């Protein structure tokens, strides 16, 4: 029996499975001798732990390089007749889905890797949303990666609806309704950080026993840090407010009189984990990260640790998702740092279309082919042709415009500003590539 922060921890078998070291396992912490989250949630977490141990082993495997990228074989088969290797993020998605099915406690899983939620069990009490392997592009460089997840109660009042409809609506719950959330960091150690609504705690995988051992009890993010985490190579794409904030704090001229340092790994889970422990702000000011799978779970964790998560203007957990893969800017960090950042007003980076993708503006042409075209500004959802000042020149151009709109919408682009086009696109020209991640 061990005492941790004022409560007594016992294993469910009556003895301490963590030996004489005074630490509890995650299962002990969740159980009746700990905070007692309920048997159903304990079972679900047991299966989440198992899935993440398997993913951790894959990430650390010397054979993961073939899994960390798309196969070069067309049609999905190798020349030897064997199936081509799947990308590691897809394998991770399948591992988590299998574990959730085996738990018997999950109604559906909504994943960043899937177009639509997967209905699992009509009687499952929980809904799980997940980014199975964030940062999978970093695997070959041995940069940390992670799994992010959030858990909601199934909305039983929707049970009468068709399966597809109730699956979507269950997945689009506000982050304020989260029962639990967490992430697993795959790095020099495998760390599972989680909250059940009563503080944020971290557990480190003990490879000798297979247990997640509590190593960070009731994490409290410092009220202010001295670190900002952002890709400042995009500095000149930022709005004035964000530039002013970064310029001010790194000169030590902000509300905190010491100079800030930059720390950026380009791995969301790793950057967030460091920020949670040491304070400061981790941010992606682009309209890039997903509200359902990433922003809500991480905002839940940082708030439970005394920090704040926002899109630069509004609290993340107060937002109502409207679509599964909805994207937004994300700022996570210490409360005082976040308040100072948001005081600068305009900190959300606008989405600018690239020079080789500027054909959209051509459809407001005011002169013959080959002449310059006017700059146009497009706002909102890109779904209306009323934005065009002039009629389409031909059906062919109209068709290409609609294809472009579809491409933009499917990649969740919401704002395009100041696009200028100098010549009419030729038939067959490439129209649009997805915005780089």
- Does residue 89 carry a catalytic annotation? yes
- Does residue 83 carry a catalytic annotation? yes
What one-character DSSP code corresponds to residue 115?
Answer: S
Q: Could you please report the per-residue DSSP string of 190-208?
A: EEEEEESSS-EEEEEEETT
Which of these is catalytic: 28, 89, 303, 357? 89
Q: Contact at 8 Å (CB) between 342 and 314?
A: no
Which of these is catalytic: 26, 88, 108, 113? 113
- Does residue 133 carry a catalytic annotation? yes
Distance CA(93)–CA(436), nearest Å, equals 22
Which of these is catalytic: 28, 131, 271, 340? 131
- Does residue 20 carry a catalytic annotation? no
Which of these is catalytic: 39, 77, 83, 240? 83
- Does residue 134 carry a catalytic annotation? yes
- Does residue 4 carry a catalytic annotation? no
DSSP strand E in 10-144: where? Answer: 106-111, 118-119, 126-134
- Does residue 342 carry a catalytic annotation? no
Q: Could you please report the per-residue DSSP string of 161-176?
A: S-HHHHHHHHHT--GG
Which of these is catalytic: 28, 88, 134, 178? 134
Q: Contact at 8 Å (CB) between 377 and 361?
A: no
- Does residue 113 carry a catalytic annotation? yes
Distance CA(249)–CA(209), nearest Å, equals 45
Tokens, residue 253: 């001229």
Which of these is catalytic: 28, 112, 271, 357? 112
Which of these is catalytic: 26, 67, 100, 133? 133
Which of these is catalytic: 28, 211, 271, 294? 294
Contacts of 414 (CB under 8 A, 6+ apart): 287, 327, 351, 380, 381, 382
Residues annotated catalytic, as ranges:
83, 89, 112-113, 131, 133-134, 294
């Amino acid at each position: 029996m061990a005492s941790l922060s004022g409560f007594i921890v016992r294993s469910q078998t009556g003895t301490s499975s963590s030996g004489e070291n005074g630490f509890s396992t995650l299962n002990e912490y969740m159980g009746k001798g700990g905070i007692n989250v309920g048997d159903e949630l304990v079972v679900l977490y047991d299966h989440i732990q198992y899935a993440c141990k398997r993913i951790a082993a894959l990430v650390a495997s010397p054979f993961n390089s073939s899994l960390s990228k798309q196969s070069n074989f067309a049609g999905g088969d190798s020349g030897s007749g064997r199936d081509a290797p799947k990308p590691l993020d897809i394998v991770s998605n399948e591992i988590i889905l299998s574990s959730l099915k085996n738990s018997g406690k999950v109604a559906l899983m909504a994943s960043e890797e899937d177009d639509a939620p997967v209905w699992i069990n009509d009687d499952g009490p929980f809904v799980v949303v997940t980014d199975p392997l964030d940062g999978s592009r970093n695997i070959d460089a041995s940069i940390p990666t992670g799994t992010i997840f959030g858990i909601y109660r199934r909305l039983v009042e929707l049970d009468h609806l068709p399966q597809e409809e109730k699956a979507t609506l269950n997945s689009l719950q506000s982050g304020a309704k989260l029962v639990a959330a967490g992430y697993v960091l795959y790095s020099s150690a495998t760390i599972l950080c989680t909250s059940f609504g009563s503080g944020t705690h971290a557990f480190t995988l003990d490879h000798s026993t297979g247990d997640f051992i509590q190593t960070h009890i009731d994490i409290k993010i410092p009220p202010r840090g001295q670190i900002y985490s952002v890709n400042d190579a995009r500095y000149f794409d930022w709005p004035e407010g964000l530039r002013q904030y970064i310029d001010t704090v790194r000169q030590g001229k902000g509300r905190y009189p010491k100079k800030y340092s930059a720390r950026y790994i380009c791995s969301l889970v790793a950057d967030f984990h460091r920020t949670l422990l040491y304070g400061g702000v981790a941010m992606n000011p682009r309209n890039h990260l997903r509200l359902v799978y990433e922003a809500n779970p991480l905002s839940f964790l940082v708030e439970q640790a005394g920090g704040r998560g926002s899109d630069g203007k509004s609290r993340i957990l107060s937002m109502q998702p409207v679509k599964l893969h909805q994207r937004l800017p994300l700022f996570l960090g210490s409360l005082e740092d976040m308040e100072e950042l948001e005081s600068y007003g305009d900190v959300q980076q606008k989405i600018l279309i690239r020079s080789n993708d500027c054909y959209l503006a051509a459809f407001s042409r005011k002169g013959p082919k080959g002449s310059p075209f006017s700059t146009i500004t497009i706002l909102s959802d890109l779904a209306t042709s009323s934005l065009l000042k002039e009629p389409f020149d031909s059906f062919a151009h109209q068709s290409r415009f609609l294809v472009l709109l579809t491409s933009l919408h499917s990649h969740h682009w919401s704002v395009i500003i100041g696009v200028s086009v100098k010549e009419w696109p030729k038939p067959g020209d490439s129209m649009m590539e997805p915005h780089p991640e």
